């Protein structure tokens, strides 16, 4: 399937792995923020920021939220910031749709854990790229994803197409993924693939594993189709532009 190198096996626990690559020109067509906008580009993986136990607790938040809805196709989305939740072939606003019942589904502890995890990931990215974490802002969309092998019903279900985050979402400068389930144990397929010229490099998900990368064309990527089981992850993205910043979700 064209994967020539595994950057991170699911069976290994990586302290820190970082690969620097030349930046694309994508950042030049946006306002630059010195000390944040990527001048050093690359991709990293770590199993040392979030514990497997924390990943399990975060996954339970995703499971509870997504149990309220879910897509008819293979990919379901839950965005705690905007309230967007897949429901059939559409999205609903979780907070408006379920109102006060939300208090029965999520707790203050859930949201505190979510904020803590987001902050640690932000600090790790800042450290890897040599920037100040205070210059980075959470940006939208930031969301949980649940993917299984159900046939796609809408274009939202077609998660496997190659794409560039900076092109898809202009605000993105740094993208991260926190995996909440294990490749080969919880699901088959569903690996994350960087599509480099002449070769592909893959990350095998593992609960608690964080992969992060600069969001430009230097990191063209896709996710393989999930063949069996269920893959949970959360995408957390950052911008250097304070105008595109969002706050942490609150209950």
Residue 174 and residue 235 in contact, taking contact as beta carbons nearer than 8 Å: no
Residue 92 and residue 236 in contact, taking contact as beta carbons nearer than 8 Å: no
**pTM assigned to the model:** 0.96
26: DSSP letter: G
Residues 24-35 have pLDDT tens digits of: 999 999 999 999
Residue 139 and residue 244 in contact, taking contact as beta carbons nearer than 8 Å: yes
Residues 199-223 have pLDDT tens digits of: 899 999 999 999 999 999 999 999 9
Domain boundaries, the chain: 4-244
CB contact burial 204-223 (16+ within 10 A = b; e otherwise): bbbbbbbbbbbbbbbbbbbb
Which residue would you say has higher pLDDT here, 227 or 102?
Answer: 227
Looking at residue 207, its pLDDT comes to 98
CATH 3.90.1150.10 fits 4-244, yes or no: no
What are 224's strand-pairing partners? none
Residue 177 and residue 237 in contact, taking contact as beta carbons nearer than 8 Å: no
Residue 71 reports pLDDT greater than 70: yes
Pairing of strands 199-203, 3-8: parallel
Annotated active-site positions, please? Answer: 231
Instruction: Give the position of tokens 């190198």.
Output: 5
Q: What percent of the chain has pLDDT over 70?
A: 99
């Amino acid at each position: 399937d064209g994967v020539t190198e595994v950057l991170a096996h699911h069976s290994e626990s990586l302290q820190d792995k970082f690969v620097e690559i030349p930046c694309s020109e994508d950042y030049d067509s946006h306002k630059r923020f010195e000390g944040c906008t990527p001048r050093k580009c690359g991709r990293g993986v770590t199993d040392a920021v979030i514990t497997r136990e924390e990943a399990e607790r975060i996954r339970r938040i995703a499971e509870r939220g997504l149990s309220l809805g879910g897509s008819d196709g293979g990919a379901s989305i839950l965005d705690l910031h905007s309230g967007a939740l897949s429901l059939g072939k559409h999205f609903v606003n979780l907070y408006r749709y379920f109102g006060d019942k939300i208090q029965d589904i999520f707790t203050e502890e859930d949201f505190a854990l979510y904020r803590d995890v987001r902050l640690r990931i932000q600090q790790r990215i800042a450290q890897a790229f040599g920037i100040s974490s205070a210059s980075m802002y959470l940006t939208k969309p930031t969301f949980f994803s649940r993917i299984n092998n159900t046939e796609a019903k809408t274009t939202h279900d077609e998660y496997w197409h190659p794409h560039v985050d900076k092109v898809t979402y202009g605000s993105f400068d740094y993208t991260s993924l926190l995996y909440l389930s294990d490749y080969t144990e919880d699901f088959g397929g569903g690996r994350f693939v960087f599509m480099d010229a002449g070769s592909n490099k893959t990350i095998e998900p593992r609960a608690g594993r964080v992969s992060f990368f600069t969001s430009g064309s230097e990191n063209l990527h896709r996710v393989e189709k999930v063949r069996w089981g269920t893959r949970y992850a959360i995408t957390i993205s950052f911008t250097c532009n304070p105008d595109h910043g969002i706050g942490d979700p609150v209950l």
